[in-house]
Structure 1
Amino acid sequence: MGSRSLSSLAAATLLLAGCQLRADELRSTAAPRLPATAVAAAATDTAAPRRPTAPVPDSLRLTAVAATPGVPDTLRQAIRQLHAALGPAAAELRPEVLEQACVGYLTLHPTGRIERAGLLAVADMDLPNTTERLWVIDLKAAKVLHRSYVAHGEGSGHLRARRFSNEEKSACTSLGFYRTAGTYDGIHGYSRRIEGLDKGQNGNAFDRYVVLHAADYASPKYIEKYGHLGYSRGCPALPPEQFKDIIATMRVGSMMLLSGPGIKSRWLDGPAAGRRFVQRGWR
C-alpha cells in the first residue's frame, strides 16, 4: 500500500475516533450508560435512532411516606380495610397518606376542634397537579364522596408542591390539618374559609385568606391546554365543575388534611388515635 493510501487510512481512522469520542461524551452527559446487554441489543437494532427527549421540569418520583408512629395493629388493619373498601376511586390515594388523615381525624375529633363526625378530606400534595389528588371520604359508609383536582400555591413548585410555608407573602401551600369554617362570596365567588390547626405550619391560613374556592386554572381543560394546573396564592383551589358540591359537603366543622413532604403535626398521635378507635370507631 502506498504512502498516500496509508495517510488517507490514518486520517479516516482519526476522524472516526474523534466522532466516537464526541458520541461517548454526549452519552455521558445526556443519559446514564446502558448495561452491556442493552448496548448489544441496540447494536442489532436497524430502526432509526431516537431523538433525545426534552428534560422533565420536575421529577415525578414521589417522596416516600413513612407509616405514622405508634398506630396500633388494630387501627392499622382497620385503615387498610377502609382503603380497600373505598375501591378504584381511592386507588391513587397512598395508604400512608390515608393513615395520616385517619389518625388526625381520630385525634382531633374528641378535642372539639372538628365537629363533623365521620367525614374527612385529604389532599396528597406530593402527587403531580395533573392528578385528581383530593378525596372527600365518608368514613362510616367507606365511600369516596368526591375526588377532584386541587391547585397548590405558585411558591410551592411546578408539577408537584415541593416547598411549603406558613408565611404571609410566600404564595405557598401550607401543610397540616384544617377545620372548615363559614362560606362567603368574595373575589372568587362562593368560597369557604378554612382554619389551620397546626401552629407554625398552617396557623396563619385564616389570616392569609387561604380558602376553598373555584378557579379556571384548576380545571381539566386547563391541563389539556397547558399540561399542568395553574397556581394559587396558597389556596387549595378547586375545579369550577365541582367546587360547589365539595364546599357544600365540607360544611362547617369538617376536617381536611393537606399532606406533603416534611409534614409534622401534634395530631399525628398514633396511640391516642388507637384508643379513640377502640372506644368509638369512626363515629
Structure 2
Amino acid sequence: MKLTASPFRLSALLLGLLGIGGAVAGCQSAGGEVAVGRQSIAVAVPAPVPVAVDSLVPTPLATLPGIPPVLRAAVSELRRRLGPEAAALRPEVLERACVGYLALRQAGRLSRSGILAVADMDLPSSEPRLWVLDLRAGQVLHRSPVAHGQGSGGLRARHFSNTIKSACTSLGFYRTQDTYRGKHGLSRRLRGLDAGQNDNALRRYVVLHSADYVSQAYLAQHGQAGNSRGCPALPPDQYRAIIGALGEGGCLYLSGPGLESKWLDVAGAAQRLVARGWE
C-alpha cells in the first residue's frame, strides 16, 4: 500500500527532523538560515521588537483651576523678573510653588518670608533642577543640581514614597527646620507638610546635606547625579549657601508627577497676596 503525504505534512516532517519547530535547535546564522550538513534552509526570523527609550520630556502639568486674575498676574510678573536664570523652571511648577507658599504663609505654617526653594523632580538629575528664589526682589539666589532617592529611579525619578526605608523621594511642601552637624557635615532638617505624602520626613531623616555624587565633577563623569536614600542632597560647593538662604521656617517644594496637596489652595493664596504681597 503506497502512502502519500501532503506538501504541508512533508514540510512539517522535515522541520521536525531538522530540529526546527517550537524550539529551534542548531546555530542560526545572521542571514536567518539553519545550517544542516552542507545545506542550509532559510528560516523566517521575526523582526526585533523596538526597545522603548526613556523620554526626558517631563510629565505635562495643567494650570491650576480657579486662580484669581490678581494671583495669576503676580506669578507671571514674578517669572518675568526672575529672567533667564529661571527659564527652565516650568511655569506650571512655579505657579504651584507660589500658591503653596502663600497658602502656607496664610495658615501660619512658615516663619521665613519671601524665600522659596523649588525643585522640579520630574526633570532628569543631570539638570540643575533646584531654584532658590527671593520672591520680593524677583531674583534667583541659587540654582543647582539636586539628588533624588535611589528607590525613585536612575536618571529620572519615577516612583515616590513616604514609607520609611523606601529610599524614595517624597513629593510635596516642606518647612525647613534647624541645622545640625551629622555624617554629611552641616545639614538642615525638613518637616513634611503634606499628610500621607511627605510627613514621615523627620522620621526618615530626610534632610538637606552635601554629597559628592551631586558635584560638577561627578555629573561630568557620569552624566547624571548619584542617588541618595531619599534626601534632596546638594553639591558640596553650594550646599552651605543654599542651607543658609533657606533659613529655619522656610519653604521647600518638591514637584513631581501625581502630586496632590491641600496647600494648593488658590483662595487662601490670593487672600494672602492681596493682604501682604510676597511677605
TM over 0.5: yes
In structure 2, distance between residues paired with 1:79 and 1:23:
58
Aligned pairs (5 A) from 1:106-255: 106-255=102-251
Checking the alignment, whether the CA contact within 8 Å between 1:191 and 1:247 is kept in structure 2 is yes
Number of equivalent positions: 240
TM-score after normalising by structure 2: 0.82
How far residue 158 of structure 1 moved from its aligned partner, in angstroms, is: 1.0
Identity %: 59
Checking the alignment, whether the CA contact within 8 Å between 2:151 and 2:168 is kept in structure 1 is yes
1:115 aligned partner, one-letter code: S
How far residue 23 of structure 1 moved from its aligned partner, in angstroms, is: 10
For structure 1, which runs of at least 5 residues remain unmatched after alignment? 1-17, 32-54
In structure 1, distance between residues paired with 2:190 and 2:199:
10
How far residue 223 of structure 1 moved from its aligned partner, in angstroms, is: 1.3
User: Which structure 1 residue ranges, 4+ long, deviate > 2 Å from structure 2?
Assistant: 21-26
Checking the alignment, whether the CA contact within 8 Å between 1:70 and 1:269 is kept in structure 2 is no
- State the partner residue of 1:81: 77
How far residue 141 of structure 1 moved from its aligned partner, in angstroms, is: 0.2
**Pick from 26, 31, 47: which aligns with 1:25?**
47
How far residue 242 of structure 1 moved from its aligned partner, in angstroms, is: 0.2
How far residue 278 of structure 1 moved from its aligned partner, in angstroms, is: 1.4
In structure 2, distance between residues paired with 1:182 and 1:161:
27
Q: Greater CA radius of gyration, 1 or 2?
A: 2
**Secondary structure of 1:162's partner?**
coil
- In structure 2, relative to structure 1, the CA distance for the partners of 1:22 and 1:59 (3 Å cut) is farther
Checking the alignment, whether the CA contact within 8 Å between 2:106 and 2:268 is kept in structure 1 is no
Structure with more of its chain in helix, by fraction: 1
Checking the alignment, whether the CA contact within 8 Å between 1:71 and 1:273 is kept in structure 2 is no
How far residue 25 of structure 1 moved from its aligned partner, in angstroms, is: 3.3
- State the partner residue of 1:91: 87
In structure 2, distance between residues paired with 1:167 and 1:106:
28
In structure 2, distance between residues paired with 1:183 and 1:244:
11
How far residue 70 of structure 1 moved from its aligned partner, in angstroms, is: 2.0
How far residue 118 of structure 1 moved from its aligned partner, in angstroms, is: 0.8
1:219 aligned partner, one-letter code: S
For structure 2, which runs of at least 5 residues remain unmatched after alignment? 1-31, 34-42
Checking the alignment, whether the CA contact within 8 Å between 2:105 and 2:272 is kept in structure 1 is no
Checking the alignment, whether the CA contact within 8 Å between 1:69 and 1:269 is kept in structure 2 is no
Checking the alignment, whether the CA contact within 8 Å between 2:106 and 2:269 is kept in structure 1 is no
